[in-house]
Amino acid sequence: MNRTQNCAECKFMKKYDYGKEIYYCDHTDRIDDMGKLGEENLPETSPVWCPVSEKG
């Protein structure tokens, strides 16, 4: 079964709080320089540039 990675379950998902919770991907092989996943909420599925879902 091939399923899409959920960022909430990923060990590379990190967050910081500057008045809002900002979620980002800390994977070194990501092709998106910022790695931003969302503000206050995570997306339901991983972004198209996710290096973990490409390998899955």
Task: For 26-54, write each residue's pLDDT tens digit.
Answer: 999 888 888 899 999 988 888 888 888 75
- The arithmetic mean of pLDDT across residues 11-22, rounded, is 91
pTM for the whole structure: 0.76
pLDDT for the residue numbered 2: 42
Selection from 2, 23, 10, 24 nearest residue 52 by Cα: 10
pLDDT for the residue numbered 48: 85
- The arithmetic mean of pLDDT across residues 1-9, rounded, is 66
In angstroms, the Cα distances linking 16 to 4, 10, 43, 56 are 24, 16, 16, 27
pLDDT for the residue numbered 1: 35
